Amino acid sequence: MSDSAALDRYDVVLIARHDDGVAIRLRECLQLRGARVALVDGPGAARLFTVRGTQEGTAVTPQLPVFIRPSAWWHVDTDDSADARFLRGECHATFWAALALTDATVINRLRRTGAIHRLTAAALAGSPTAGRAPVVESFASGPDQFDDAEGLWGEDIDYRTGALATLSADVPLRARRVEIDAGYEIVTVVGERAFAATTHPRTLGASLGPRSVGLVAGAGLHFATVTWALTAEDELPVRLNPAPDESELRYVWSDVSAALCADLWPGSRQEAA
C-alpha cells in the first residue's frame, strides 16, 4: 500500500515530530471525538501528498485537513550525506507546495513565501491593533555593544533571555527597553476565537482578545499566541508565536483544543477534551 493510499484510513493529518507534546495532546482530543488521526513528521508528510499541474490549474491529493508544527522539520543534518540532504530538501519543497496549494483546511498554512515564524515587538508595532507606544529593538553581536544597558533586556541566538548583564558575551542578540514592573497576558487565538490565560479586568477592558485576533489574522495565521506587556500607559504586544508549546497553552488548553478540533474535524462528537 502506498503512503498516499494509506491516508484513506485517516480523517486528519498532524504534521509534527513524534514527541511534540502539543501534537500528541491534540491527537488524543481528536480521537476522543471520533477522528482517525495520522501523526507524521515533515519528510513523511511530503510522501503523502501529490501535486499535479494541469491546464485547469493545480490539484493536490488527498484533500485532508492538516495541522502543522515546526517540530516536523527539526533535524541536525551535519552528519548526513549530500544525497540525504538533497532528498530532505526535495521533501521540504513538496511539503511546501502541497500545503500552500491544497484547498483543504491547513493550520497554519504555508504561504507562497514560506512559513511565518515568531514575531517580536518591533515586527508587531506597525499593526493598527498593536498599541500607541513606540517600540525600538536593537540587534547586536553581543551585550558589550550597548553603552547604556540599564533597563535593556535581550534574547540571544541560544534563546536565553534576561537583563543584558546576565547574557553571554559575544553571542548575537536582540534587545529592547522594558518596564520591569509591567504585567503580562498571553492570549491564544484560533481563527476568530481568543482565549486569555488570565481573567484580569484589563484584558477585557483593553480588548486584548479582539486585538490579538487582528494581529494573528494580519500575520496570515490561524493559530498563535500573543504575549502582551501591560504598562501603566499602554498594552504592547511583544511576541506572536505560531508554534506555542504546552507551557503557553496550559491555562486554556481545554478551550483551545476544542476550537482546533472543531476546525480540523467539524463532524466531531462533542466529548470533553
Mean pLDDT, range 59-67, rounded to an integer: 92
Mean pLDDT, range 133-154, rounded to an integer: 83
Tell me the per-residue pLDDT of 249-271, one tens digit each, with 9 for 90 and over.
999 999 999 999 999 998 654 44
What rounded mean pLDDT belongs to the chain? Answer: 87
Q: Does residue 139 share a domain with residue 98? A: no
Give a yes or no: residue 261 inside a domain.
no
This model's pTM is above 0.95: no
For residue 26, the enclosing domain spans 3-111
Q: Which of 147-151, 211-215, 225-229, 265-269 has the lowest mean pLDDT?
A: 265-269
Give a yes or no: residue 262 inside a domain.
no
Q: Does residue 127 share a domain with residue 107? A: no
Give a yes or no: residue 232 inside a domain.
yes
For the cut 60, the answer to whether the pLDDT of residue 212 exceeds it is yes
Q: Does residue 237 share a domain with residue 123? A: yes
Domain boundary among 91, 111, 131: 111
Q: Does residue 125 share a domain with residue 88? A: no
Q: Does residue 160 share a domain with residue 98? A: no
Domain boundary among 89, 111, 133: 111
Q: Does residue 203 share a domain with residue 122? A: yes
Pick the residue with more confidence: 272 or 104? 104
Contact (CB, 8 A) for 92 and 73: yes
CATH code: domain of residue 92: 3.40.50
Domain count, the chain: 2
Mean pLDDT, range 126-143, rounded to an integer: 76
CATH code: domain of residue 195: 3.30.470
pLDDT of 57 reads: 85
